[in-house]
Structure 1
Amino acid sequence: MVLVLPDGEAESPRGPSRLAYARTLPLGRALARAGRADGLLVHPVHYAVRGWNGPEARLAADALWAADEVTRRYGDVPVCLAGHGFGGRAALRAADHPAVTSVLAMAPWLPWDTTEGEEPVRQLAGRRVLIVHGTNDARTAPDLSYRLAERAKKVNRDICRFEVHTDGNALRQHHAEVLALAVDFVLGSLFPHPFSRPVADALAAPPPLGLRMPLAAGFGRSLRP
């Protein structure tokens, strides 16, 4: 099961954004299509509100609720949390749910202000984690996701991070490669499929190499059909 977590906002009591939900559709469709033969199910998560809302961490709470629902409805199945922006932050934060085995965080929004403490990483232990970030992202800071990955690597060796050079927050410039990378990671983490060589190398490499892996142009063209 993949739970797809849309982007959100730092503070807002408003309902979920239709635009943010629509932007997750290509990822969800790519994963569903690639994993159909293996029985992969993909569900989007509809938040109660679109705001992270400080210590409430509402989007992470909704992700945990969705993982509970997966367990209730489908039993003991492995879950991958896949999110973009604030959805990426929610995926990382909710990784301690017992059903979650892997996390895909795309351009995760992480706070500059650490007055509430550093973003936690211990919940990532025992999970396979992939972070993808565009180097020209002006909305969510690539340096912050690198620092988080660097800290997380100390408690979890199964984490890697790919950089999409010259791409922005939406990861549109190399959209096909990003989707191929996501598919490769999700299928490899949920099923007995081997990871592609770049993903396997990134997971095995020590920092900083495995956390600053460049996403090559044309990635995925010669991978799985």
Structure 2
Amino acid sequence: MSCPGVDLVRHPAGATDLVLLAHGGEENSHADPHLRRPALLRMWPFAVVAQSAAPHAAVGLLRYRFRGWNDDGDAAIDLRAVLDELPPVISRVFLIGHSMGGRAVVAAGDHPRVAGVLALAPWLPSGEPLVALRPPVTFVHGTDDTVTDPAGTTAYAARLRAAGVAVTTYSLAGEGHAMLRRAKDWDRLVADFVGGTPAGGGSEHLPETDAAQVASGVGSIAWARFRLPVKERFRVSCESATR
């Protein structure tokens, strides 16, 4: 079992902000979430986007102990352990999560170091505990997603708004769970979030584009993976994630 931590692909000297990317996983699995899994690879283009949108911030990918969420919400536990033990110089963390990672960043989004949450096609099942998130909070989901339920995202956003939290939601017509048919739209929304573009706080439906972008989306994954090597690894103890 590997211990939770962060693979840093960018770490400017003196950086006080961290953009942390949390990848997807499975409902139940204690298998190793190795580096070659598609769920993790899909996050690499967003690391490139974040590097451009916030050049003075550190950028890293969250590393879990396990591939699955499991009964205890292991992915969220790991994220909280990382947030607790990051170096003191990191004062603000901007969380971006996809699928299970989207569920994790929402669950840990009330941590005092968190300065914003962006959930991409998040897995937010019925009855998911409501977390007191602090804006900016943005949820994005494709209308054709058959892996995680867009209605679950809409329902959770409504609960947050009822609790007084400003939430921006985007619905991407014709998009599925892998975020490849409209790769440029996902990149733009990540750039806006990381770059601090003010969100409207409402709901927006983005109509389907003329052409699928699957080929360019897949190409961007390969290009980003080789362009951004891991520069530094930060790990917390496995015991920290099981307290």
Instruction: Quickly name the TM-score band, shorter chain normalised.
Output: 0.7 to 0.9
Aligned-residue sequence identity (percent) comes to: 34
* 1:120 matches 2:137: no
**Which of the numbers 171, 176, 190 marks the counterpart of 2:184?**
176
Query: Corresponding residue for 1:41?
Result: 58
Structure 1 unaligned spans of 5+: 113-117, 189-193, 204-209, 219-225
Q: Which amino acid aligns with 1:44?
A: L
The structure carrying a bigger strand percent of its residues is: 2
* Deviations 1:48-80, CA, capped at 9 Å, x for gaps: 1111102x110001111121232xx14351111
RMSD: 1.7
Contact 1:16 1:48 in 2 (8 A): yes
Query: Corresponding residue for 2:26?
Result: 9
Q: Distance in 2 between matches of 1:146 and 1:186?
A: 22
* Deviations 1:133-162, CA, capped at 9 Å, x for gaps: 000001000001000000011224321110
Query: Corresponding residue for 1:65?
Result: 81
TM-score by length of 2: 0.74
TM-score by length of 1: 0.79
Counterparts of 1:188-199 in structure 2, within 5 Å, are: 188=196, 194-195=197-198, 199=199
**Which of the numbers 141, 163, 173 marks the counterpart of 1:165?**
173
Contact 1:127 1:156 in 2 (8 A): no
**Which of the numbers 152, 155, 158 marks the counterpart of 1:147?**
155
Q: Distance in 2 between matches of 1:156 and 1:179?
A: 28
* 1:187 matches 2:198: no
Highest relative contact order (Cα 8 Å, sep 6+), 1 or 2?
A: 2
The structure carrying a bigger helix percent of its residues is: 1
Q: Distance in 1 between matches of 2:46 and 2:64?
A: 18
Contact 1:122 1:155 in 2 (8 A): no
* 1:26 matches 2:45: yes
Q: Displacement of 1:187 after TM fit?
A: 1.8
* Deviations 1:103-152, CA, capped at 9 Å, x for gaps: 0100001225xxxxx2122331x332100000000100000100000001
Q: Displacement of 1:35 after TM fit?
A: 1.1
